[in-house]
Amino acid sequence: MTSILNSLKMISDPTRLRILLLLSEEPLSVAELQQILGMGQSRISTQLSQLKKETLVTDQRSGKNNIYSAQIPPELSKIVATAGKELPEMDQDRASLRHIIRKRKDQVRAYFDDLAGKFGRQYVPGRSWKGLAEAMLKILNYEVVADLGAGEGTLSQLIAQRAQKVIAIDNSEKMVAFGQALAKENKLPNLEYRLGDLQSPPIADQSVDLAIFSQALHHAEQPVKALAEAHRILKPQGRLIILDLLQHSFEKARELYFDTWLGFSEVALAEMLAKVGFSDVETAIVDREEAPPHFQTLLASAIK
């Protein structure tokens, strides 16, 4: 029989209480708990082991993962729920949990994730990611597009072949000058380069249909502010697309590539987007480099 005294000791720890409350809403794996709580695997596994020892948590094998569920005795359920209301992280935990559940249920996205992992492994004459990307860009239909942190503007130039106007923003004078010369050389008068910062782009309010951060957001000192600015410049129902690195631990990236942030987790990025007012947030891991440090590419989309 479960010891009430020991159970009370268990839930007196905020981390164990957070885990128990999450598992009472949805069975989760350790990896999913990591995403929600932003904690290391060993720490979460230790807390789960203690909760399991007191029979407050059970686990069941599913493929390669153990799926954990809460098993709260009736005499403790009210205490757990009341204590949970005192946790400052609970609203954020529940929002992260909803994001995890959405991803889990997205069978179509899972299919394309699997397809993306197989693409290019077998040679097919004329098939390439570049060719596919250019073909997809031809069917996009956005009037005004902002490429935020455009660099030399490769993506901007591709989009300019379809959009009515593309505004490419970069904080490097040399990059802007290079991009302007390239746009002129390629006869793209609808592609305009502007010198500016991700956190204060020189673009009018509600003037853009599509805003893009392509491997740029992890260079921003304040990513939330950069996302808020993207929200500001987008028209109602405008779309935001983000391509960035999934959170990693390759510290040398700060020195080698001048990265401010070591990527972002799916949950953290979804939370930032929701915080500044975006809705219909979707995220997916769309690529993984074979060579160390095995950077992974995170794709996110959202609607204003």
Output the furthest CA–CA distance in the chain (Å, rounded). Answer: 78
CA 222 to CA 233: how far, in whole Å? 17
**What are the chain's domains?**
4-99 (1.10.10.10), 108-303 (3.40.50.150)
pLDDT at 49: 94
Q: What is the pLDDT of residues 254-285, one digit of tens each?
A: 888 889 999 999 999 999 999 999 999 999 88
Closest CA to 166 of 182, 146, 151: 146
SS3 content of the chain, % helix, strand, coil (to 5): 45, 25, 30
Mean pLDDT of the chain: 87
pLDDT at 52: 93
Maximum mean pLDDT: which of 79-83, 94-98, 201-205, 247-251: 201-205
Residue 138's SS3 state is helix
Per the CB < 8 A criterion, the answer to whether 243 and 297 are in contact is yes
The residue type found at 143 is E
The secondary element (H helix, E strand) that includes residue 285 is strand 279-288
pLDDT at 289: 85
pLDDT at 118: 54
Helices vs. strands in the chain: H and E counts, helices first: 13, 9
- 119's tokens: 């693409």
User: Mutual orientation of helices 266-275 and 90-105 as an angle, nearest 10°?
Assistant: 120
Choose between 116 and 276: higher pLDDT. 276
- Those residues whose C-beta lies under 8 Å from the C-beta of residue 164, and which sit 6 or more positions away, are 143, 144, 190
pTM of the model: 0.70
CA 148 to CA 156: how far, in whole Å? 10
C-alpha radius of gyration, the chain, whole number: 23
Express as a percent the part of the chain with pLDDT over 90.
57
Partners of residue 193 on adjacent β-strands: 168
Pairing outcome for strands 191-195 and 165-170: parallel
Q: What is the pLDDT of residues 10-34, one digit of tens each?
A: 889 999 999 999 999 999 999 999 9
The secondary structure of 7-26, three-state, reads HHHHHCCHHHHHHHHHHHHC
pLDDT at 1: 47
pLDDT at 105: 61
Q: Is the per-residue pLDDT at 124 higher than 70?
A: no
Q: What is the pLDDT of residues 84-97, one digit of tens each?
A: 899 999 999 999 99
